[in-house]
Amino acid sequence: MTATTTAPDRDPTAETISAVLSREVRPPRPGALSASLAFGWRAMLKIKHVPSQLFDITAFPIMITLMFTYLFGGALAGSTREYLQFLLPGIMVMSVVMTSMYTGMSVNIDISKGVFDRFRTLPIWRPAPMVGYILGDMFRYTAGALVILAVGLILGFRPDGGALGVLAGIALLVAFSFALSWLWTMLGLLVRTERSVMGISMLVLFPATFLSNILVDPKTMPGWLQVFVDLNLIAHLVAAVRGLMSGDAVVDELLWTAVCGGVLIAVFGTLTMRLYNRK
Amino acid sequence: MVSAAMTAEGTRSMSEAGDSLAIETSGLVKSFGGTRAVDGIDLTVPAGTVYGVLGPNGAGKTTTVRMLATLLRPDGGQARVFGHDVVREADAVRSRVSLTGQYASVDEDLTGMENLVLLSRLLGYRKPAARERAVTLLEAFGLTEAADRQVKNYSGGMRRRLDIAASILNTPDLLFLDEPTTGLDPRSRNQVWDIVRAVVAHGTTVLLTTQYLEEADRLAERIAVIDRGKVIAEGTPGELKSSVGAGSVHVRLRDRWQREQARQVLARVLGTEVQLDADPVALTARIMDGDSRDRASAQASRALAELDEAGITVDDFSLGQPSLDEVFLALTGHPAEERDENEQEVAE
Ligand SMILES: Nc1ncnc2c1ncn2[C@@H]1O[C@H](COP(=O)(O)OP(=O)(O)O)[C@@H](O)[C@H]1O
Ligand SMILES: [Mg+2]
């Protein structure tokens, strides 16, 4: 054992310990909201201490926005500027949905450490730690979306829906990602290693984002693929976000997205909590 | 503030007056795959005491503690903590216990301060009070200087102290300490022992698991020795020791060349095998047949007289109880786990 640090403080003694014990008053247990917010605060502290996480959520979106705009812009839409009006909302969805899998990874990393045991022995609202992860991630989603918006505006993205439409689009995207995160918390609890969480997430997210209306209009696809795109939740989300940002009424897509989000929370939220309690 | 504190204290100790048992388990079982990690454990832990669960690595200590702390669901049997069933009334149990796990149960990425503030908030302290509580605890545990450093940069002893500080933040009625001193240097280990004594003096029940016989002997009022998922002995340290034999005679001589002669004298008088210690002037002999303390001291006196008669100069002569190492060997037929080599090197 190497003592890397020496504390010049006074060593704990029976007196110092008794003093902190005897003054103790047990406050009433916190409500569901304040417990969840405390865990959300923890997630923010983690971002503060491990800022490399922020690199992932900013560098990746910037890269794919630039890449796809210039790679496909000329070929698919005649001009990069024109393509950007179509691509940007989709790319925003793609990268935010992609970053949502970090939720599962942070859950999984925590389980392998003892701190998770401490949380599970606290007399708090049971889903609070899970909601906390997701609250922290919603910050990342919002940050990621805003970064892409900024890059888009620089490159010439001029949405017809105006500021309000764009904000509504981002809000919908963040809300849907909250719902989707429950799939990842479940996965994080279910799978043994962080690596396999990532592998499985990719296996779901790659087809879900690429086989969609994000990069190209599905009308150019073969019929069987159009059927898949039609069933793809992400495609409906993209249509809804795109509609909000371009100022078109897309009530049916909005409804679809809302219903899917609700179902995701109901199903995977329940499964997450069942696994969390059983672990 | 002060009067509020006193009222809360008063109510709390009243509500506890009825709970004379902190833990009561019967036939507790937990299997992982084919192996029975815990194989029918019965424990009765009186409130307000330190109870030691002693056993070698893999005996089932952690699994038992995790079931009692509501982290694992038992496969069979029953467990009650202050009268509450750990499965059906898990929430009631959680509000009265806290756990310092075998591996750090604090967040390594966060600072010591952030860890304690987070936990205070989760235990219902409002923002300013949470910070105040964290500051107080860090000071009491000698961690003020390290308060704003990430826990991953703490030494083992500091981490353990923070972990225990987190566990007593809310002054639990029952504290689980799973191998709290494994891997610590002697100085940190002594600090943990002092903390345990202070906590139990305050009225908190402590269930402590350990592989160290000396630790259980020093801290615990009662000990359950477990091996391969079963309780193989239970009692006070003294009871466990006397079940093995009356005690041992330890002799130190002035001259090492007299040791062989002394060995023969002791073997004749006590009628047991005499062990030559690593120290070239020391010998140890177990007194086997004396089941009472009086017989043992009579025999010891006779041995001392005979050594004197044989002209052997004795510097030190003592009759001690057998060590728990001997107890373990006698009970299980195999020795308890060896201590970490590192730890024996560190001299105090
Ligand atoms: N999660 C687990 N999965 C499989 N086996 C386990 C698990 N936890 C413990 N065990 C096994 O159960 C036995 C008891 O383990 P444990 O309770 O950790 O013992 P101790 O804490 O006394 O060292 C060991 O054989 C260990 O390998
Ligand atoms: Mg263990």
Q: Which CATH superfamily, name and number, covers B14-241? A: P-loop containing nucleotide triphosphate hydrolases (3.40.50.300)
- Chain B CB within 8 Å of residue A50 CB: yes
Measured at the CA of B267, the angle between CA B264 and CA B271, to 5 degrees, comes to 155
If you write DSSP's letter for every residue of A158-215 in order, what string do you get? --TTHHHHHHHHHHHHHHHHHHHHHHHHHHHHHSSSHHHHHHHHHHHHHHHHHSSTTT
Instruction: Count Cα atoms within 13 angstroms, Cβ side, for A182.
Output: 23
pLDDT band at B9 (very low <50, low <70, confident <90, very high): very low
DSSP bridge pairs for B249: B285, B319
| Shortest CA gap B63–chain A (Å) | 13
Which residues on chain A are in Cβ contact (under 8 Å) with B5?
23-25
**Which ligand neighbours the alpha carbon of A279 most closely?**
1
Instruction: Extract the tokens encoding A197.
Output: 């969480």
Instruction: Name the residue with higher pLDDT: A19 or B165.
Output: B165
Cα B54 to middle of ligand 2, angstroms: 11
Q: Which residues of B174-204 are buried (b: 16+ CB within 10 A; e: fewer)?
A: bbbbbbbbbebbeebbebbbbbbbbbbebbb
Distance CA(B254)–CA(B312), nearest Å, equals: 8
Does A17 sit within 8 Å of B195, measured CB to CB?
yes
Does A27 sit within 8 Å of B123, measured CB to CB?
yes
Q: Which of B68, B109, B132 should one mutate to test binding to chain A, selecting the residue with the greatest count of A CBs within 10 A?
A: B109
Instruction: Extract the tokens encoding A67.
Output: 């890449």
Q: Which residues line ligand 1 (CB under 6 A)?
A: B 32, 35, 37, 55, 57-63
Give A 260-279 residues with CB within 8 A of chain B. Answer: 278-279
Distance CA(A130)–CA(A134), nearest Å, equals: 6
Cα B209 to middle of ligand 2, angstroms: 8
Helix (H) or strand (E) holding A71: helix A52-77
Of A10, A24, A124, the CB nearest to B171: A24
Which residues on chain A are in Cβ contact (under 8 Å) with B205?
none
- Euclidean distance between the first and the last CA atom of chain A, given in angstroms as a whole number: 32
- 8 A C-beta contact, residue B38 and residue B29: yes
Diameter over CA atoms, chain A: 78
Q: Which of A5, A16, A42, A115 should one mutate to test binding to chain B, selecting the residue with the greatest count of B CBs within 10 A?
A: A115
If you write DSSP's letter for every residue of A5-61 in order, what string do you get? ----SPPP-HHHHHHHHHT---PPPP-HHHHHHHHHHHHHHHHHH-THHHHHHHHHH
Does A11 sit within 8 Å of B106, measured CB to CB?
no
**What per-residue confidence (pLDDT) applies to B289?**
57
Can you give the three-state secondary structure of chain B, one letter per residue? CHHHHHHHHHHHHHHHCCCCEEEEEEEEEEEECCEEEEEEEEEEEECCCEEEEECCCCCCHHHHHHHHCCCCCCCEEEEEECCEECCCCHHHHHCCEEEECCCCCCCCCCEHHHHHHHHHHHCCCCHHHHHHHHHHHHHHCCCCCCCCCEHHHCCHHHHHHHHHHHHHCCCCCEEEEECCCCCCCHHHHHHHHHHHHHHHHCCCEEEEEECCHHHHHHHCCEEEEEECCEEEEEECHHHHHHCCCCEEEEEEECCHHHHHHHHHHHHHHHCCCEEECCCCCEEEEEECCCCCHHHHHHHHHHHHHHHHHCCCCEEEEEEECCCHHHHHHHHHCCCCCCCCHHHHHCCC
- Chain B CB within 8 Å of residue A32 CB: no
**What per-residue confidence (pLDDT) applies to B180?**
93
Among B6-20, B108-122, B156-170, B280-294, name the one with the lowest average pLDDT: B6-20
Mutate to test the pocket of ligand 1, among B41, B61, B62 (most ligand atoms within 8 A of CB): B62
| Percent of chain B predicted with pLDDT > 70 | 85
Distance CA(A7)–CA(B261), nearest Å, equals: 52
| Shortest CA gap B104–chain A (Å) | 5
- DSSP character for A251? H
**What per-residue confidence (pLDDT) applies to B341?**
39
- Chain A CB within 8 Å of residue B105 CB: yes
Domain with CATH 3.30.70.120 in chain B: 246-321
ipTM, two decimals, is 0.82
pLDDT lower than 50: segments of chain A:
1-7
Does A118 sit within 8 Å of B105, measured CB to CB?
yes
CATH of B246-321 given 3.30.70.120, 3.40.50.10600, 3.60.20.10, 3.40.50.11900: 3.30.70.120
Q: Residue B342 is which amino acid?
A: N
Q: What is the mean pLDDT of residues B24-32?
A: 95
Closest-CA residue in chain A for B5?
A25
Q: Residue A279 is which amino acid?
A: K
Domain with CATH 3.40.50.300 in chain B: 14-241
Distance CA(B127)–CA(B93), nearest Å, equals: 26
Does B141 sit within 8 Å of A17, measured CB to CB?
yes
Give B 148-187 residues with CB within 8 A of chain A. Answer: 149-150, 153-158, 161, 166, 168, 170-171, 183-185
Of A13, A26, A35, the CB nearest to B170: A26
**What per-residue confidence (pLDDT) applies to B293?**
61
Instruction: Extract the tokens encoding A124.
Output: 């708090």
Cα B60 to middle of ligand 1, angstroms: 6
Residue extents of the structural domains in chain A: 31-278
CB atoms within 10 A of CB B91: 13
Residue range B221-250, pLDDT digits in tens: 999 999 999 999 999 988 877 776 667 888
* B205-210 vs B50-54, strand pairing mode: parallel
* Spatial CA neighbour of A269 closest among A116, A126, A106, A171: A126
Q: Which residues of A208-235 are buried (b: 16+ CB within 10 A; e: fewer)?
A: bbebbbbbbebeeeeeeeeeebeebbbb
| Percent of chain B predicted with pLDDT > 90 | 59
SS3 state of residue A120: helix
| Shortest CA gap A238–chain B (Å) | 36
**What per-residue confidence (pLDDT) applies to B17?**
39
Any alpha helices (H) in A100-127, and if so which ranges? 101-111, 115-120
Instruction: Extract the tokens encoding B104.
Output: 């750090």
- Chain B CB within 8 Å of residue A52 CB: no
* Spatial CA neighbour of B316 closest among B247, B254, B246: B254
Which residues on chain B are in Cβ contact (under 8 Å) with A122?
94, 122-123
- Chain A CB within 8 Å of residue B297 CB: no
pTM of the predicted protein model: 0.79
Q: What is the mean pLDDT of residues B50-74?
A: 94
Instruction: Count Cα atoms within 13 angstroms, Cβ side, for B278.
Output: 0
SS3 state of residue A232: coil
Instruction: Name the residue with higher pLDDT: B148 or A58.
Output: B148
Give A 113-132 residues with CB within 8 A of chain B. Answer: 113-115, 117-124, 128
**What per-residue confidence (pLDDT) applies to B170?**
86
Those residues whose beta carbon sits under 5 angstroms from the ion ligand 2 are B 61-62, 102
Residue range B299-336, pLDDT digits in tens: 888 889 999 999 999 999 988 776 666 777 777 766 65
DSSP bridge pairs for B98: B175
| Shortest CA gap B6–chain A (Å) | 8
Which residues on chain B are in Cβ contact (under 8 Å) with A117?
66, 69, 71, 99, 101, 105
Residue range B82-117, pLDDT digits in tens: 999 999 999 999 999 999 988 888 999 999 999 999
Distance CA(A150)–CA(B198), nearest Å, equals: 58
Residue range A64-111, pLDDT digits in tens: 888 888 887 777 767 788 888 888 999 899 888 888 888 888 888 888
